[in-house]
Amino acid sequence: QNKKHVNLIKRILRDVFDCDNVPVKSFVIMANPKAIIRK
């Protein structure tokens, strides 16, 4: 499910920002503070 979530974020980033170079991990951490605790 995590991979599906990341793929969804990647697709949104590609659509919204038209950019595939955004670091997905930092985006996930910004969007989900619990990710910081998990890592």
Single-letter amino acid, residue 21: N
pLDDT at position 12, please? 77
Greatest CA separation for the chain: 30
Task: Say how far apart CA 39 and CA 37 lie, in whole Å.
Answer: 6
> So what's the pLDDT on residue 23?
62
Residue 29: the pLDDT is 63
Tens digit of pLDDT for each residue in 1-22? 678 888 887 787 777 666 555 5
Predicted local distance difference test score (pLDDT) of residue 25: 63
The pLDDT assigned to 10 comes to 78
Residues in CB range of 19: below 8 A, 6 or more apart = 13
Cα 27 to chain centroid distance, Å, stands at 5
